[in-house]
Amino acid sequence: MNVSDSEVIFAILAKAGYERTEDMAAADVILANTCSIRDNAEQRIWSRLELFAAQKKRRPEVLVGIVGCMAERLKEKLLDSRKVDIVAGPDAYRSLPALLEAAAPDNPQINVLLSREETYGDIMPLRTDRGGVSAFISIMRGCNNVCSYCVVPYTRGAERSRDPETILAEARDVYERGYKEVTLLGQNVDSYFWKSAAGNTDFADLLESVARIAPDLRVRYATSHPKDISDKLIETMGRYANICRCIHLPVQSGSDVMLEKMRRRYTREWYLDRVRKIREVMPDCAITTDVIAGFCGETEQDHQDTLGIMREVGYDYAYMFAYSERPGTLAARNYPDDIPPEVKNRRLTEIIDLQNELSLESNTRDVGKTFEVLVEGPSKRDPSDLCGRNSQNKMCVFPAPGDTDIRPGTYVTVRILSCTSATLLGELV
């Protein structure tokens, strides 16, 4: 989401005459686009502000801005730090040129008003993917779920969907410019809904429309909410080969007690039913997830339930974190953060160790198979190798042929010869 937002910001500022640079020493304006989902993300930004302050000390005219969720959550605290000249929330990006015009080291500016209408649907993002292979397209903003641990509804506002015609226009534009993959983004894409005189459009309808733009345009999306993922969506995915066989389905916990306290609004059995439906329609579909260790009041049995559901589903990959209390959330107001850090860390380590086993098992099952891989470019570890992802979003690495120049954005067929828990290793077929 932050990459997508940054591309919108770049487009807005470019229209106002600003030119992007990655050389901080040459910048007149330094902006940090921020996340508030976890405390460590915010702590990194506070550390970055020290780096920005060093630039301001050498060049007092430099303006420093914090934009995004941290700007929305901390507001005046950022200005009070005297290290920030501009604070702009996720719905205030259009005001950035005016804020920059008015700002000065002794005259900070702030706009953190949330909107029920803003989707930036009329703004064509300024793409940052140098390879021109994969593009992010935001289809909605905000969230109405109000999970008890999550700060997103307070920093990004109420859920609102974007006009599907603007989404399709953006997808066609990136395809015509040579991109071979789009990822549709939303806090909960399953909730996407657009009502118009021409008829209603839900997420399955939108996904199908994007997939029909071109058979060689891969389509991904993130993120699905288990309480909302429908049979219609799963069956739509099954009908189109260019809709990638990968669903990110955050479970957070395998315990019904924890799920209720988290306000996830589904049960363990409901979740497993959705997994069964996915496997029935798309046996080759990868399922990835998010897991929280040590949520408020989590017992050892709750933790074992989480390990159990991980084994039962057999996740291909997971994002795993120890619970981090976020100020202002329902959990922070209602539940004590009562799991000792050493217990959280031990449980998180057990979750990570198990997922490493599951990822290795998943990748081992792919040895001997062939996959269509979308080439992203040279491998970071060895530039003589190429890398790219298959439909299941697994990274594949293979030797580059000496007699052929395979450019990013090319589809190739790769036979998998071996693997690690993170990577499939193969050869061109």
Is the pLDDT reported for residue 131 higher than 80?
no
Co-location of 23 and 94 in the same domain: yes
Is the pLDDT reported for residue 290 higher than 80?
yes
Co-location of 393 and 343 in the same domain: no
Strand order in the sheet with 109-111: 29-34, 63-68, 86-88, 109-111
* Choice among 145-154, 163-172, 401-410 with the minimum mean pLDDT: 401-410
pLDDT by residue (tens digit) across 18-29? 999 999 999 999
Co-location of 326 and 212 in the same domain: yes
pLDDT by residue (tens digit) across 291-326? 999 999 999 999 999 999 999 999 999 999 999 999
Domain boundary among 336, 365, 394: 365
Is the pLDDT reported for residue 128 higher than 90?
no
Number of domains in the chain: 3
Q: Residue 164: its pLDDT value, please?
A: 98
pLDDT exceeding 70 applies to what percent of the chain? Answer: 100
**Sequence-distant contacts of 55-60: CB under 8 A, at least 24 apart:** 55/24, 55/25, 55/27, 55/30, 56/83, 56/105, 60/105
Q: Residue 404: its pLDDT value, please?
A: 82
Residue with tokens 């507001």: 75
Co-location of 333 and 385 in the same domain: no
* Choice among 224-233, 306-315, 384-393, 397-406 with the minimum mean pLDDT: 397-406
Is the pLDDT reported for residue 44 higher than 80?
yes
Q: Residue 80: its pLDDT value, please?
A: 84
Q: What is the CATH number of the domain that holds 160?
A: 3.80.30.20
Residue with tokens 């990136």: 174
Co-location of 352 and 381 in the same domain: no
Q: Residue 282: its pLDDT value, please?
A: 98
**Domain-embedded: residue 124:** no
Co-location of 290 and 417 in the same domain: no
Among 181, 90, 89, 165, which residue's Cα sits nearest to residue 127?
181
- Mean pLDDT confidence for 392-404: 94
Co-location of 329 and 374 in the same domain: no
Half-sphere exposure of 36 (CA within 13 A, CB side): 24
Rounded Cα–Cα distance for residues 289 and 273 (Å): 15
Backbone angles phi, psi at 88, to 5 degrees: -135, 125
Is the pLDDT reported for residue 85 higher than 90?
yes
Q: What is the CATH number of the domain that holds 402?
A: 2.40.50
Residue numbers of the domain that contains 399:
370-428
- Average pLDDT value for the chain: 95
Pair 243, 212: CB distance under 8 Å: no
**Domain-embedded: residue 126:** no
- CA-based torsion, 406, 407, 411, 415: positive or negative: positive
Co-location of 244 and 313 in the same domain: yes
**Domain-embedded: residue 195:** yes
Pair 30, 62: CB distance under 8 Å: yes
Is the pLDDT reported for residue 273 higher than 80?
yes
Q: Residue 132: its pLDDT value, please?
A: 87
Residue 355: pLDDT band by 50, 70, 90 thresholds? very high
* Beta bridge mates, 426: 416
Residues 6+ apart with CB under 8 A from 408: 131, 132, 133, 375, 376, 377
Strands (E), 83-172: 86-88, 109-111, 134-138, 140-141, 160-161
Co-location of 378 and 242 in the same domain: no
Half-sphere exposure of 379 (CA within 13 A, CB side): 17
* This prediction's pTM: 0.94
Is the pLDDT reported for residue 156 higher than 90?
yes
Co-location of 269 and 336 in the same domain: yes
Is the pLDDT reported for residue 122 higher than 80?
yes
Residues 6+ apart with CB under 8 A from 84: 49, 64, 65, 66, 78, 108
Rounded Cα–Cα distance for residues 52 and 56 (Å): 6
DSSP state of 401: P
